[in-house]
């Protein structure tokens, strides 16, 4: 590389952003070591673990405690499937599925619990019973009351990009400029949050891998994830066991462990602060190695 100025090469890379994320009684230092969010779906029809913890509260709680012991930094609990083609459920059904689990788990683990919902009524009950973060796949577009619920609670907020709804999102999704359109939509979600009194230090962005994207779109998001640093918010990525990995590997969801690890490592190298995953021990190890290569502070 004779004649190439190494300093000049480095200056074109986006800086590593550090954030102190405020979420209820918790505060997470993001931008150093990667944080791992563990997934628990108490649904009969989620794409990977649907039915495993549905109507099995003791098993669901054991899974939460096992994930926390394995190194999860956040537990994300959902009571409505968001897989492609999924049918919605009522507020009452969703509450019945998630509130007893959140209430009991929050008494026994010392890490934030996130409620994965797009319904303000569910978020409100969850936050009142021990949750500290709302993970809204609609980016505050699904329920006009969601932003005010989060604002008055002091909770953290994850705004995700989704094209369409879970029922329609994989019906031939198309973009003129994939990354610019996702960044623009996430910027609008941040604007909605701030307008309703949610401070930016409580917001995380998620580009929504698998939500209204083709396999090629998902790969481009991972390849160009650093561009999302323009939003100046922590980035969360959820590639765990997703169908684009199955397409590459010709593997069923539970046989996509190594593909998930590869996707997570790439996401971390390109700026993800949080990875949302099913397999905690393995992805904690993946994150630690990626962090070490990246030169992140792993304390």
What was the pLDDT predicted at 166?
65
CA atoms of 85 and 168, how far apart (whole Å): 6
- In this structure, are residues 252 and 47 in contact, taking their beta carbons and an 8 Å threshold? no
The pLDDT assigned to 171 comes to 64
Record the pTM: 0.89
Q: Sign of the CA dihedral 126, 187, 22, 72?
A: positive
Determine the pLDDT at residue 40. Answer: 94
Q: What is the pLDDT of residue 168?
A: 63
Based on DSSP, count helices (H) and strands (E) in the chain, helices before strands: 10, 10
If 0-12 CB within 10 Å is exposed, 13-18 middle and 19+ buried, where does residue 108 land?
exposed
The residues annotated with a catalytic role in the active site are 242, 276
pLDDT for the residue numbered 49? 52
Q: If we measure between CA atoms, which residue out of 7, 16, 40, 10 comes closest to residue 268?
A: 16
Q: Map out the domains of the chain with their CATH numbers.
A: 33-289 (3.20.20.20)
Question: What number of other Cβ atoms are within 10 A of residue 258's Cβ?
Answer: 13
* Surface-to-core class of residue 32, CB atoms within 10 Å of its CB (0-12 exposed, 13-18 middle, 19+ buried): middle
Residue 106 three-state SS: helix
Q: For each of the chain's 299 residues, which pLDDT tens digit applies?
A: 344 444 443 445 455 678 999 899 999 999 999 999 999 998 874 444 544 544 457 889 999 999 999 999 999 999 987 766 656 789 999 999 999 999 999 999 999 999 999 999 999 999 999 999 999 999 999 999 999 999 999 999 999 999 866 666 566 778 999 999 999 999 999 999 999 999 999 999 999 999 999 999 999 999 999 999 999 999 999 999 999 999 999 999 989 999 999 999 999 999 999 999 999 999 999 999 999 999 876 65
What pLDDT was estimated at residue 167? Answer: 64
CA triplet 107, 105, 86: central angle to 5 degrees? 150
20 beta partners: 29
Sign of CA dihedral 236, 161, 196, 75: negative
Contacts 24+ apart (CB under 8 A), 216-222: 217/173, 217/175, 217/178, 218/242, 218/244, 219/244, 220/178, 220/179, 221/178, 221/179, 221/182, 222/263, 222/266, 222/267, 222/270
């Amino acid at each position: 590389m004779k004649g190439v100025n190494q300093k000049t090469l480095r200056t074109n890379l986006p800086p590593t952003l550090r954030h102190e994320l405020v979420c209820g009684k918790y505060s997470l230092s993001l931008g150093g070591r990667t944080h791992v969010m563990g997934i628990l779906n108490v649904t009969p029809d989620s794409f990977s673990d649907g039915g495993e913890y549905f109507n099995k509260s003791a098993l669901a709680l054991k899974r939460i405690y096992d994930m926390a012991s394995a190194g999860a930094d956040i537990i994300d609990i959902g009571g409505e499937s968001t897989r492609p083609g999924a049918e919605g459920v009522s507020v009452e059904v969703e509450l019945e599925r998630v509130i007893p689990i959140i209430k009991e788990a929050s008494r026994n683990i010392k890490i934030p619990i996130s409620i994965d919902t797009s319904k303000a009524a569910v978020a409100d009950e969850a936050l009142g019973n021990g949750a500290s973060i709302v993970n809204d796949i609609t980016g505050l577009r699904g329920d006009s009351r969601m932003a005010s619920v989060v604002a008055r609670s002091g909770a953290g907020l994850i705004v995700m990009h989704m094209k369409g709804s879970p029922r329609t999102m994989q019906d031939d999704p198309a973009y003129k400029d994939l990354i610019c359109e996702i960044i623009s939509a996430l910027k609008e979600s941040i604007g909605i949050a701030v307008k309703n009194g949610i401070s930016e230090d409580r917001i995380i962005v998620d580009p929504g891998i698998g939500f209204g994207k083709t396999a090629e779109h998902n790969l481009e998001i991972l390849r160009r994830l650093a561009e999302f640093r323009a939003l100046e918010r922590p980035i969360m990525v959820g590639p765990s066991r997703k169908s684009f990995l199955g397409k590459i590997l010709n593997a069923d969801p539970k046989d996509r462990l190594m593909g998930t690890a590869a996707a997570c490592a790439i996401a971390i190298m390109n700026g993800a602060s949080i990875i949302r995953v099913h397999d905690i021990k393995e992805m904690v190890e993946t994150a630690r190695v990626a962090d070490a290569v990246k030169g992140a502070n792993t304390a």
